[in-house]
């Protein structure tokens, strides 16, 4: 599960021009509008990220009435809560929520940086929405077969705002593959060859199709529709048994009509690969290996440009400057000329990676 809440130390507090009651606090790469005088630099606070879905019946969040969201299934209330989004207040970008830690007894024993998501029963809005859709009979989400396979990492990349100063400095000059972040739904396809090290746990499940969090039954849905359209699993089986002699999981983005509002105005549903995991070696394939597999299987890869470095993007070695520069750099357009959601950066060996979601895109999407 993505870390949506944690204890933090406030890095800085700055005034907002022409604002008497609010100011902006900085936590890592995140800027959060807070009530003036509520915090000072160096305070310990609870930070909750955008995309969090907070309990509607917890009185500690009552002030978030403008963020109240209700989900219905068959006309009945299925879930309700407060959804945190990217907003602007008095011209200042604000992402997430900063709250005094003394209001949350559940996290008193936790240290700075500890993940407080589960302790506070905070959920990811997209996961709650997907669950509601599955209970409504929506065939796009698929029928759960089981949990996401333990032998494959999930697809959620860390946001650049959460990169530590140490990570940035250590990777200042690391060549990074820059790829387009496609606004769709992520999917994972896996195949385990007959002679794989996991044979004892995969006797009846050598191949599968997964959404972001679940393995799915073969039923009408966007994930299995893509599998049947491109015959992905059969191609993987042939490749794993006769080609690479290993077991792999292919991850990519499904996008197009009917998916996330189809922001790029695509004419058909497509699948674009962004990562491939060698299950037996427990490693990401290098960029050249990944492209070779895509060519072998006849699968499309997400658009990629020449490698860049954090230093070349920001013209600086200051982590604060670099985070801001990368977010600005992520703004732009897709090959179709529409505003892009952002960019994903990966070292050529796949060991260091993160995403930069365009704040301009987020603000326009929330309108």
pLDDT digits (tens, 9 = 90+) for 326-359: 999 999 999 889 999 999 999 998 889 999 999 9
Here the CATH number for the domain that contains residue 283 is 3.30.470.30
Q: What is the mean pLDDT of residues 59-77?
A: 88
Q: Residues 92-116: pLDDT tens digits?
A: 999 999 999 999 999 999 999 999 9
Please report the pLDDT score of residue 194 as a whole number. 76
- How far is 127 from 213, CA to CA, in rounded Å? 8
Instruction: Indicate if 162 and 115 belong to the same structural domain.
Output: no
Instruction: Indicate if 132 and 208 belong to the same structural domain.
Output: no
Please report the pLDDT score of residue 200 as a whole number. 55
Q: How many Cβ atoms are within 10 Å of 200's Cβ, its own excluded?
A: 7
The domain boundary residue, chosen from 87, 103, 138: 138
The distance of Cα 24 from the centroid of its chain, to the nearest Å, equals 25
Contact 52, 81 (CB under 8 A): no
Instruction: Indicate if 79 and 150 belong to the same structural domain.
Output: no
Instruction: Indicate if 155 and 123 belong to the same structural domain.
Output: no
pTM here is 0.88
Instruction: Indicate if 201 and 342 belong to the same structural domain.
Output: yes
Instruction: Indicate if 32 and 162 belong to the same structural domain.
Output: no
Please report the pLDDT score of residue 1 as a whole number. 60
Instruction: Indicate if 268 and 289 belong to the same structural domain.
Output: yes
Angle of CA points 320, 157, 248, to nearest 5°: 145
- Provide the domain count of the chain: 2
**CA dist 96 → 53, 61, 168, 221, 309 (Å):** 11, 13, 22, 32, 28
Instruction: Indicate if 273 and 154 belong to the same structural domain.
Output: yes
Q: Which of 254, 286, 278 is nearest to 152 (CA)?
A: 278
Q: Tokens 């699993």 — which residue?
A: 233
| Confidence label for 196 from pLDDT (cuts 50, 70 and 90) | low
Please report the pLDDT score of residue 306 as a whole number. 83
Token couple for 319: 């982590």
Tell me the pLDDT of the chain averaged across its residues.
91
- How far is 297 from 238, CA to CA, in rounded Å? 9
Q: Tokens 């070779």 — which residue?
A: 292
Instruction: Indicate if 130 and 232 belong to the same structural domain.
Output: no
Please report the pLDDT score of residue 367 as a whole number. 46
Instruction: Indicate if 117 and 170 belong to the same structural domain.
Output: no
Q: Is the predicted pLDDT of residue 132 greater than 60, yes or no?
A: yes
Contact 47, 30 (CB under 8 A): yes
Q: Residues 47-60: pLDDT tens digits?
A: 999 999 999 999 99
Contact 257, 234 (CB under 8 A): no
Q: Is the predicted pLDDT of residue 226 greater than 80, yes or no?
A: yes
Q: What is the mean pLDDT of residues 310-332?
A: 96
In terms of residue numbers, what domain contains 171? 145-366
| Confidence label for 4 from pLDDT (cuts 50, 70 and 90) | very high
Instruction: Indicate if 97 and 181 belong to the same structural domain.
Output: no
**CA dist 151 → 30, 171, 273, 282, 304 (Å):** 32, 27, 19, 8, 27
């Amino acid at each position: 599960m993505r870390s949506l809440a944690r204890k933090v130390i406030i890095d800085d507090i700055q005034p907002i021009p022409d604002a008497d009651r609010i100011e902006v606090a900085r936590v890592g790469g995140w800027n959060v509008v807070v009530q003036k005088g509520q915090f000072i630099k160096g305070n310990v606070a609870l930070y909750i990220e955008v995309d969090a879905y907070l309990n509607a019946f917890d009185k500690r969040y009552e002030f978030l009435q403008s963020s109240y969201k209700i989900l219905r299934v068959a006309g009945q209330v299925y879930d309700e809560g407060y959804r945190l989004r990217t907003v602007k207040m008095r011209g200042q970008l604000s992402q997430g929520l900063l709250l005094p830690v003394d209001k949350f007894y559940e996290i008193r024993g936790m240290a700075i940086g500890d993940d407080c998501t589960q302790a506070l029963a905070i959920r990811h809005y997209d996961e709650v929405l997907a669950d509601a859709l599955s209970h409504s009979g929506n065939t796009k989400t698929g029928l759960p077969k089981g949990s996401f396979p333990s032998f494959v990492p999930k697809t959620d990349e860390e946001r650049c705002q959460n990169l530590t100063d140490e990570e940035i400095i250590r990777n200042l000059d690391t060549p990074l593959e820059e790829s387009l972040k496609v606004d769709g739904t992520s999917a994972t396809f896996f195949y385990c060859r007959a002679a794989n090290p996991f044979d004892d746990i995969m006797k009846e499940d050598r191949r599968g199709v997964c959404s972001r969090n679940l393995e799915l039954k073969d039923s009408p849905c966007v994930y299995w529709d893509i599998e049947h359209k491109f015959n992905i699993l059969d191609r993987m089986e042939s490749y794993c048994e006769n080609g690479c002699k290993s077991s792999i999981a292919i991850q990519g983005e499904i996008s197009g009509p009917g998916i996330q509002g189809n922001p790029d105005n695509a004419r058909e549903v497509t699948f674009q690969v962004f990562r491939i995991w060698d299950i037996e070696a427990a490693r990401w394939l290098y960029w050249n290996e990944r492209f070779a597999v895509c060519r072998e299987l006849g699968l499309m890869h997400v658009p990629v440009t020449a490698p860049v470095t954090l230093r070349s993007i920001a013209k600086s070695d200051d982590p604060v400057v670099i985070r801001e520069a990368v977010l600005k750099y992520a703004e732009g357009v897709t090959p179709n000329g529409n505003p892009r959601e952002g960019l994903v950066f990966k070292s050529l060996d796949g060991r260091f990676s993160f995403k930069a979601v365009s704040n301009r895109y987020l603000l326009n999407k929330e309108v």
